[in-house]
Amino acid sequence: MTQPVAFILKGYPRLSETFIAQEIHALEQRGLDIRIVSLRHPTDREVHPVHRLIRAPVRYLPEYLYQEPVRVLRAWWAVRRWPGYRRARDMWLRDLWRDRTPNRIRRFGQALVLARELEPEVRHLHAHFLHTPGSVARYTAVLRELPWSLSAHAKDIWTIPAWEKREKLADAAWAVTCSRAAYDDLAALAPESNAGGRVALVYHGIDLTAFAAVPRLGAPRDGSDPADPLRLLSVGRAVAKKGYEDLIDALALLPAGLHWRLQHIGGGPLREVLQQRARARGVGDRIDWCGARPQAEVLKAYRAADLFVLASRIASDGDRDGLPNVLLEAQSQGLACVATEVSAIPELITADVNGLLVAPCDPAALAGAIRALAADPARRAQFGAAGQQRVAAEFSLAACIEPLVRRFGLPPAAEAERDGAAGVRATA
């Protein structure tokens, strides 16, 4: 058993961050003692099954400092004389000079609380997301004189300035990220152009025990029967980078003789705006807005759908997807996918092999891809089978977790299995 590691998350649990939960559970199964630290309280009313399997205790920091002023003040009073306090304070003040926002103040206050309350046996900090959790982890690590590491994903990479990424990468013991584009960006900013492999590319992968492949049942639909329309599915938060405006516009361009329904699963702040857009485009009555749903219902939706569509794009603030786990999930179920050529999506989907790719922000091209696959069930089945094979061969969680296992100092899979078998024999 390794020494405990504190995982610092922006919010926990979250339905939209299955990839983090499955990683925590997989690392726990391999022997890592994890303590979860969340900067925000949960807002989802339900959780995924994997959340119930996680054993790690959860600590919630003050979401806003004014809500728990006594807790923050006690933390400052306790740590202000620690050896690392002056360095952490000066680091924070330099950051605040360049980023004069309330969020920057909140990050330091949360770090003070965590530094005071963190169990003494915790000897390493790991932040999921480079932006806010990365700042709290960095300040806390200096206060407690501990090493820290990070997992960078998507928005946290593309919406913070280069100086912040460069300084965090210089201070972190190591970092991983989940797409080639993100890796290229971070590796170029790492000390000495990533000498020593400080930044590594590690895909999230998918738990193929939770997303087991099953035969697709029922007669293939081609959209010709109004009583049995083509079932389109999209899973993702209603935020700008998911491109749902483009998807709605594409659906409005589909021919009148093609009968379809779209099921959207996901929360997000733009949901009402998108519903209004759909009504204005004349397709509002053909879209089912289901909100955020637990994993079992999402899995059922994958298995019932005919075609998965994701219209990702780069948002005006630079935010973009990494490799959306929903594409891995859809392909694990043999579901053909139409997506856009953004970020790491082409690292999973090869055009005309296991799906169709179109340029982002191009509703006409998206409508053409949907129309082409709607009328060709055999091609959809071919793409679905190829995607299922690709995910099983290259994106299983069991394989993708190994680089993290090594980074956290855990034994590799073969050694862990050998030790487990030895323990069984010894108790037999």
pLDDT recorded at residue 418: 52
Domain locations in the chain?
5-205+397-423, 230-394
Tell me 351's DSSP state: T
Residue 6 · residue 118 · CB < 8 Å? yes
Q: Give the mean pLDDT of 300-315.
A: 97
pLDDT in tens, 207-217: 999 899 888 87
CATH topology of domain 230-394: Rossmann fold (3.40.50)
Q: Can you name the residues that pair with 232 across neighbouring β-strands?
A: 262, 307
Q: Is the pLDDT of residue 428 over 50?
A: no
pLDDT in tens, 365-378: 999 999 999 999 99
Superfamily of domain 5-205+397-423 in CATH is Glycogen Phosphorylase B; (3.40.50.2000)
For tokens 């190591």, name the residue.
Answer: 174
Query: Model pTM greater than 0.85?
Result: yes
In sequence order, what E strands does 130-265 have? Answer: 148-152, 174-177, 199-201, 230-235, 260-265
pLDDT recorded at residue 91: 97
For the chain, counts of helices (H) and of strands (E): 19, 13
Q: Can you name the residues that pair with 288 across neighbouring β-strands?
A: 263
SS3 of 98, please? Answer: helix
Q: Give the mean pLDDT of 278-284.
A: 98
Q: Give the mean pLDDT of 335-349.
A: 95
Q: How confident is the model at residue 421 (pLDDT cuts 50, 70, 90)?
A: very low
Share of the chain above pLDDT 90, in %: 87
- Mean pLDDT rounded to a whole number for the chain: 93
Q: Is the pLDDT of residue 423 over 50?
A: no
Q: Is the pLDDT of residue 159 over 80?
A: yes
